[in-house]
Amino acid sequence: MTTVSTEFVRLSPDDFRTRLREALAIYVEAMRYPPGTSEQRAPMWLTHALREGWRCVGAFDAEGTMIGIAYGYKGSPGQWWHEQVRRGLVKSQDEASADRWLTDYFELTEIHVKPTSQGGGIGETLLRRLLDGVPDRQVLLSTPEGPSRAWKLYRRVGFEDVLRNYHFAGDPRPFAILGRGLPLEPPVQRV
């Protein structure tokens, strides 16, 4: 369950730009990327904030420090991720599968929680708040293969396999593409 002292805030593009360093620090730590990755990613993240349907939610502790971030936007042909996933789907399945998944979807681009804050429901709350009211028919995301808290979260909220063991250009790790229809069902109340 989410800690009572955690505040979830929808961030405007200006808020996002202002807190970009904090968000990227969480990303680098959560993904175990080498230092310097944030400088490479910053321009891309800023460009993402200009895309159609972009939305962002931040999680903040009682002192106002960012401890989690989630954002995404409407996926469209011509976007790097869309074209990479389309190529993988066509190669491993067929055009029909690519068309089914890559039409009318929200790309959950980033969702990260500071490792010391993981395990308390912050990730699920970020996911649910980000996707609440998204008008697209479905949501897609990519995540590194292998057991993780993120995998447990995605399975718990009903994400299914779209494409497994996919290698994005520029990253040697295998990734899974996961998807599900929208809207999400309400969370299961634990007794």
Residue 187 has a pLDDT of 85
Backbone phi, then psi, for 140, in 5-degree steps?
Answer: -130, 150
In contact, 69 and 59? CB cutoff 8 Å: yes
Tell me what pLDDT residue 39 has. Answer: 94
Q: Is residue 8 scored above 50 in pLDDT? A: yes
CATH number assigned to the domain with residue range 7-181, chosen from the 4 options 3.30.465.10, 2.102.10.10, 2.60.40.10, 3.40.630.30: 3.40.630.30
Q: What percent of the chain has pLDDT over 70?
A: 97
Position 16 confidence tier, pLDDT thresholds 50, 70, 90: very high
pLDDT at 166: 97
Find the angle CA(72)-CA(78)-CA(83) to the nearest 5 degrees.
80
pLDDT of residue 188: 75
**Residue 67 near residue 114 (C-beta atoms within 8 A):** yes
- Evaluate the CA torsion angle 23, 113, 62, 4 in order and state its sign: positive
Predicted local distance difference test score (pLDDT) of residue 46 = 98
Active centre residues (catalytic):
154
